[in-house]
Amino acid sequence: MSMTAVELGKKIKAGEISVMEATKACIENIKTYDKEYNCFITVDEEGAFKQAEEIQKKIDSGELTGPLAGVPIAIKDNMCQNGVLTTCASKILSNFVPTYTSDAVVKLMEAGAVIVGKTNMDEFAMGSTTETSYYGETKNPWDTNKVPGGSSGGSAAAVAAEEVPCALGSDTGGSIRQPAAFCGVTGIKPTYGRVSRYGLVAYGSSLDQIGPLAKNVTDCATILEIISQYDKKDSTSVERTDNDFTSALKDDVKGMRIGLPKDYFTEGLDPEIKDAVYHVAEVLKEKGAIVEEFDLGMVEYAIPAYYIIASAEASSNLERFDGVKYGYRTAEYTDLHNMYKKTRSEGFGAEVKRRIMLGSFTLSSGYYDAYYVKALKVKALIKQAYDKAFAKYDIILGPVAPTTALTMGESLSDPIKMYLGDVYTVPVNLAGLPGISLPCGYDKDGMPIGVQMVGDAFNEKAIIQAAYAFEQTREYKQPAAVAERGL
């Protein structure tokens, strides 16, 4: 489990490790260490071993030759998997077993990956800390008193804790990139429409995207290549032919134009993070990139616009959880309306209720134009600001979050503080752009710092190439607790 996903895939293909050995090692690590971190909601041990047997036969017969054949992978628990409990970390879906599988997961299974289980997350992906889960918070493997970030904290922590070599997450406003930064791993949020959302339980339908979390850029590019295919079942899926992301794994940024938004380096950003991001810019400059500072604009409006749009979409998406068709239903009720009320009151957690109420308010008559329509106009202006920037630059470089991983309980008591922590990631979702987060240093307490690289729409290759070039200058570092296991 200390190998990267691609390294493990090569060993399996060469016959040095069997698929069953890899799967058993993965399950063993989850059983041994997950009591401490709580990365998983469901571990499908029986299903994983069954998959391992079938995949081994296909590898031996030459049917499966891909880089991830036989490699164990975890899935965030908001992606449906036929016959496997899918809860979205909520009480209201605590008994929901889907009858179909999400398209991204199907693509991984077709490539021969072994799906070992479903990872913990913020309830319905609402949160930035993985503390709002009905199944308890996930802890950061670098320091168990710290949060792993959210909402894909379970996936990021599982990779950092070496319970799995790689995982899938989903990103609505930074939910892949921020936990990747907090847990010292790499994560990619693809362009909106690049990866099918079919089978992903919707939070903010115009913002959600599925993406990979892994130890390095190579793994992320490899997974992204597998899951990025057109899907006619998703009306927002875009048909593209430029999905060969591994071709961008080149240590070459000569002549690449990189923009550093001045707006990102103002008050509120931890000085250690600022220094680490500037260091990345210097490294890329030494490798031949052209680095300039510029004014991006619109940054201060991103958070309010995002929370209005995301909450509005959440309130309508979460209407379907009413105790009638599937999921949790309250035990005692007097009539239909009472059943709805009690089921939703008991089934949803505080953060989800907060966002449903905020969304319902902004969509209500009299406030729709004042809030929701205005937020959509701001969203269009943010996209214009990025379009203007990408006319001049190949990638935009900046921080992922204003601070490193927060202490447990710190932001739950102050939701506004948690919302403001997404200031560098949400504009990317509002504009539908691709972004990558990768480790670039450590703060005085030894906690990881992430750097974010943002590309123009469908130009994932530019950010993968720049990230890969920077990655060549440093080695992947394990959390101390994980490194001690090998001693």
Q: In what order do the strands lie in the sheet with 448-455?
A: 40-43, 114-119, 72-76, 166-171, 209-214, 186-189, 435-442, 448-455, 395-399, 257-261, 290-294
Identify whether 133 is a catalytic site residue. no
Q: Tell me which DSSP letter residue 109 carries.
A: H
Token pair belonging to 133: 């889960």
**Residues 129, 133, 136: CA angle, nearest 5 degrees:** 95
Burial per residue of 9-39, b for 16 or more beta-carbon CB atoms within 10 angstroms, e otherwise = bebbbeeebbbbebbbbbbebbeebbeebbb
How far apart, in whole angstroms, are the C-alpha atoms of residue 418 and residue 412? 7
Nearest to 215 by CA among 159, 171, 151, 138: 159
Q: Tell me which DSSP letter residue 202 carries.
A: P
Contact 167, 26 (CB under 8 A): no
Catalytic residue (choose from 133, 152, 155, 175): 175
Catalytic residue (choose from 76, 107, 215, 379): 76
Identify whether 50 is a catalytic site residue. no
Identify whether 206 is a catalytic site residue. no
Catalytic residue (choose from 151, 155, 170, 228): 151
How far apart, in whole angstroms, are the C-alpha atoms of residue 436 and residue 217? 9
How far apart, in whole angstroms, are the C-alpha atoms of residue 397 and residue 15? 41
How far apart, in whole angstroms, are the C-alpha atoms of residue 478 and residue 384? 40
Token pair belonging to 461: 């290759």
| Segment holding 33, helix H or strand E | helix 19-37
**CA dist list (Å): 374 to 120, 254, 312, 379:** 34, 41, 13, 9
| Contact partners, residue 233, CB within 8 Å, separation at least 6 | 103, 196, 198
Residues annotated as part of the active site:
76, 151, 175
